[in-house]
Amino acid sequence: MIKEPGFLPYPSPLNRESDEAHIERASRFGNKDAIIEIMSTCDEKEIRFLGKIGELYPETTPPHTNIVEVIEIPSHHEDQDNNSLLTNKNEVTQYVIEHEGTVIYCVFKPFDGENKNRKEETGHNKFYSQEAAAYIVSEAFGFDLVPPTVIRTIQGREGALQLFIHPEEYAQWETCQDKLNITQEQIEKLETSRDFYNMAMFDFILANADRHQNNWLLKTRLQSGVNEHKEVDLDEVTPATLVAIDHGETLSTYSYRFNPTKGPSRILTEIEPTQGSTGEQIDLGIPKETPLPAECIVALKQGISLQEEVTKQLLQLEIDPQEILQMWIRTYSLIHEGVFLSNRNRDHIPLPIDQTLDLMRRYISLLTTASEDTVEYITTLSPRTIQTILNTPLTTLRQNPSFAAIDKTVIHTLKQFNHPIIRANI
């Protein structure tokens, strides 16, 4: 855990001119690098507590399992060349960040406010690190779905500090349907938008089974000028339509496999369940396969090109190395299958043996303390040998002459990857 200086800034990993797969478009959140810098480096004296989010916005905020607080940070970080580091070229977040030294509204999710019972149910030691991890992953793939998020300490409490998305600009999907009088035709158009596709891939990559209607937000107002707003015409859906929040329960492969898929991921991987005349469910949803558009493949390859950098950042957050490996396996499987995936249309994650082994070899060197000799030796083992080592108890292996000559370090290293998904793919 990084204790000093009390925060962990995450500059956007997308500033790579040499990356051919780079997706370049303005962010719905404004100048993210500047926002991250201010949230990370501002003095605690500049941070003012406003209250619990449910008390501040009782009509638009559902009950939270964890304690969520809203704070404000005065913006005094000006740049002479650009007037302000927070110049919002996209002009869609002015309710949150205003020009010329006003405030940045943030949501703070402290570790000591996390629900202990919920952590036991999901197998997480902490939720706030997953919030920061979700931002890193969203940025790496160019999804631009998650508000800027950092880990920092405020008044001795460590947690996730995230840009606050005002409910007057983006509102929960369930609320929006009534507020905007959305038609079925408009819903169908939204379900083929880039953001909708990105969110479906994002939730699968992160193993997110908690994308309920309160944590994916739809744009309700569009800023057309300074302090001038108009209602969004959903017949002309803009590229920046959705925002994803609440990712504390992500990166838990076990939890994901045994919970129903929700949100865009479910819609793209499952045919709607049949309902009876009185509302009872007749048939369970039937798995379906929706092809990935070309732009989705580009985004996936962009994320993979930043694989090592992203992995190191997630390790800094103390994300389980096994979960990091599973995340990349899911990413590769999307490209390999060419369709949207979820736990609704796949029992396990299919990958060719050579790709699975390549991932294992890469992560053995990245996620363990194995020596170069050990890693090199593992690359010479056949898939069958690796599979046997993964599936056989240590005591049995030591009694087998065929494995007696294999160094204990090699076996111990491979055992760290003894996961059902790995075994299913080898």
Return the pLDDT at 88.
30
Return the pLDDT at 209.
80
**Residue with tokens 């369940």, as numbered in its chain:** 273
pTM of the model: 0.76
b vs e for 226-235, b when ≥16 Cβ sit within 10 Å of the residue's Cβ? eeeeeebebe
- Read out DSSP for 127-192? SHHHHHHHHHHHHHTT---SPPEEEEEETTEEEEEEE---TTTEEEHHHHHHHTT--HHHHHHHTT
Q: Would you say 262 and 212 are in contact if contact means Cβ atoms under 8 Å apart?
A: yes
Q: Which residues pair with 228 in a beta bridge?
A: 225
Return the pLDDT at 375.
74
Return the pLDDT at 13.
32
Q: Would you say 244 and 199 are in contact if contact means Cβ atoms under 8 Å apart?
A: yes
Return the pLDDT at 61.
60
**Measured between alpha carbons, how far is 266 from 203 in angstroms, rounded to an integer?**
10
> Which of 244, 245, 268, 265 is closest to 256 using CA atoms?
265
As given in the structure block, the two tokens for residue 229 are 């707003």
* Helix, strand, coil percent content, the chain, rounded in steps of 5: 40, 15, 45
Return per-residue pLDDT of the chain as tens, 426 residues: 322 222 233 333 333 333 334 444 578 888 888 889 888 888 887 787 777 766 666 666 655 566 666 767 776 544 434 433 333 322 222 223 232 454 788 888 888 877 777 777 777 788 899 999 999 999 999 999 999 999 988 888 898 999 988 777 777 776 666 666 677 777 788 888 999 999 999 999 999 988 888 888 888 654 332 233 444 454 454 555 899 999 998 998 878 888 888 899 999 998 876 555 555 554 556 888 899 999 999 999 999 999 989 999 999 999 988 789 889 989 988 998 899 999 888 765 556 666 776 777 677 766 666 777 777 787 777 777 877 777 788 778 778 877 777 777 777 777 766 554 455 444
